Amino acid sequence: MTDPPAKTPDRRPGGRTARIRAQVLDAVRAELAEGGHEGLTMEGVAARAGVHRTTVYRRWRDVGGLLVDVIAAAGETDWQPPDTGSLLGDLTALNQEIQQSLTAQPSFAVALMAASFHSEQAARAQTKLWADRYAQCEILVDRAVERGELPSRHTDARSLLIAATAPLYHQLVLLRADPDPRLPERSAAAALLAAGAGAFTVRPHESG
């Protein structure tokens, strides 16, 4: 986020500062989903949040500041990767979550992606959020190795996760295909078959 505010606001958790941030970020999400980032203005956010616009300017400075904070807030939720008992189940559940977020009408996730093409600040924040999420998901692969579902400890978890999830972004966001209810499981299963055949095996000196 931007510089700390000049006037020493109330920073108690759940206090006025936190409440205003929640109101403003809710408004950003709603405005983004409705009008995309091109429709996002400081005035529109302030009006929807019911917060004085000088407060919004002072704390977030500009639209880029709002985008960065809304992405940061997404990273603060205690999101947990799925734990279904099998890697196929986990990756399918993950893909279902992705498909849902990308096909929601309107989609906050797609609006953020669009914004990241135009705001360097937003792009950096989004890249960090995704890196964190993929890192959190590596436990899916660790658990699968422990259960004996994958051939070796030398599986590049990140490559496997990207192989499983990338086709959803590609089909739904870039190719704008209609959502296919079978895609989450099919894409997960294809990545697993590739992993089983050694596609993501790294030689020991390459890992870690």
Applying CB under 8 A, the residues found at the interface with a second copy are 36, 38, 110, 113-114, 117-118, 123, 127, 130-131, 159, 162-163, 165-167, 169-171, 174-176, 186-187, 189-191, 193-194, 196-200
Q: How far is the CB of 38 from a second copy (least distance, A)?
A: 6
Question: Closest CB to a second copy among 22 and 177?
Answer: 177
* DSSP reduced 3-state for 84: coil
Q: How far is the CB of 134 from a second copy (least distance, A)?
A: 8
Question: Closest CB to a second copy among 18 and 193?
Answer: 193
Question: Closest CB to a second copy among 6 and 174?
Answer: 174
Q: What interhelical angle do 108-116 and 63-76 show, nearest 10?
A: 130
Question: Closest CB to a second copy among 47 and 190?
Answer: 190
Strand-pair partners of 171: none
Mark 93-113 as b/e (b = at least 16 C-beta within 10 Å). bbbbbbbeebeeeebbbbbbb
Rounded CA gap, 204 and 208, in Å?
8
Residue 152 gets which letter from DSSP? -
Q: How far is the CB of 117 from a second copy (least distance, A)?
A: 4
Q: How far is the CB of 204 from a second copy (least distance, A)?
A: 17
Query: Do you find a cis peptide bond into 81, omega within 30 degrees of 0?
Result: no
Using an 8 Å Cβ cutoff, are 201 and 152 in contact? yes
Question: Closest CB to a second copy among 139 and 189?
Answer: 189
Q: How far is the CB of 61 from a second copy (least distance, A)?
A: 20
